[in-house]
Amino acid sequence: MNKNVIVTEETLVAPIVVDASKSKVPVKPAFAVLGAVSFSHFLNDLMQSLIPSIYPILKANYALDFGQIGLITMAFMFTSSLLQPLVGLYTDRNPRPYSLAFGMAFTFAGLILLSTAHHYLLILVAAALVGTGSAIFHPESSRIARLASGGRFGFAQSVFQIGGNFGSAIGPLLAALIVVPLGQGSVAWFSLVAALAIAILWRIGSWYKPRIVPRRAAKAAAHAGTLPRGVTFFALTILVVMVFSKTFYMASIGSYYTFYLMHKFNLQTQTAQLYLFLFLGANAAGVFFGGPLGDRFGRKYVIWLSILGALPFTIALPHADLFWSAVLSVFIGFIMSSAFPAIVVYAQELVPHRLGMISGLFFGFTFGIGGVGAAVLGQIADLKGIDFVYQVCAFLPAIGLLAVFLPKMKRAAH
């Protein structure tokens, strides 16, 4: 029998032996699973976004400075950053279908603690618990989205990520409507959201369990890569640097944009939260388009244009009035966010046998750099003023020029 073993994302769902000439079998995405994973991501990131959304309350209640605010973000981001690649590497070798529900329990505990914490140290611990839940959630849920993609990898990654981005956008809005008027204790109500997420993730685990890849099939997939190791490492390094530029700038918005608007335009906290919601909503919309455009035109070009293309708008933002600040923030959020689905899928194609580790690395690195960026920018804001932060960060998108050095990847046959 002269047949070749073809290991693709389709065969990762149920490995089979097929003729090489008959390998291009159309497979439809599992839309129900993609929808459930995306909705779970929505719930997860909604809860995460509560932490920066209640910074004004914590700052007022406990007389915190910007440096201490940055350390809260760093506590959340640090646990998530360190654990995500490790969780991804572990689950590449030892898949755990119900780990997603288990991880969400950390988020549940973190929200309860955050609602009752009356000491700065306990606030840091609560933020770290929510970060741990995020670290467990992202690598495996990203892998499940890819398994359910039917070969439309960019589309699936966008569907998965848009849930998280909408959650991040809705979180500040709910904080403005619920947490700001009712106080820190009202955060406990959001633990019900974590309970709902646990139930959904348990069902997703039941779908995933019979589709876990045998280790021998995963090893065979390691030979699917076509680039030399050195080229792969160089490309991953460029992607990491570009994620750094994007995430560092996003940290300036996520942690300090409300303070910037309140300082420069004398806005109230709730009004400033609404402007942050505009930015985060545009961020979610950009994610939706980034993945499919990468499938259609090539991920390298989407990565390049989406980061570098934001440069004119970031340079103009510190000099704009309130109306144009809102307009520019929408363009910045939409353009910059379209890069990340393409970056994740591009990296997965570079290292196809380590999907969990690669997903964890890039999601974790994003959180980690966001945490470091928040801490560093908080110190700069204390020393130089909040306006100076946005003047310095305006030039970060110029790093997008490095995308020209990325190797061109062959698009997978669907």
Q: Tell me the pLDDT tens digit for each residue of 110-159.
A: 999 988 888 889 989 999 999 899 888 888 888 888 888 887 888 888 88
CA 145, 150, 152, 155 dihedral sign is negative
Question: What are the tens digits of pLDDT across the range 267-303?
Answer: 888 788 888 888 877 887 888 888 888 778 778 888 8
Percent of the chain exceeding pLDDT 70 equals 87
140 with 207: CB under 8 angstroms?
no
- Residues with Cβ < 8 Å from 213, sequence gap 6 or more? 12, 15, 95, 221
- Residues with Cβ < 8 Å from 342, sequence gap 6 or more? 154, 290, 291, 293, 294, 299, 302, 303, 306
Amino acid at 16: I
CATH class of 29-216+225-405: mainly alpha
Least confident of 257-261, 304-308, 394-398: 304-308
Give the model's confidence band at 183: pLDDT under 50 very low, under 70 low, under 90 confident, else very high.
confident
Indicate the average pLDDT of the chain.
80
Question: What are the tens digits of pLDDT across the range 208-227?
Answer: 888 775 544 545 454 445 67
Identify the CA nearest to 79 among candidates 141, 140, 137, 129.
Answer: 129
Query: Helix 355-384 vs helix 386-393: angle between axes, to the nearest 10 degrees?
Result: 130
- Residue 410 pLDDT greater than 70, yes or no: no
What does the pLDDT read at residue 401? 83
268 with 368: CB under 8 angstroms?
no
Mean per-residue pLDDT, 65-71: 81
Longest C-alpha distance within the chain, in Å? 76
Mean per-residue pLDDT, 32-51: 89
CA 55, 58, 63, 68 dihedral sign is negative
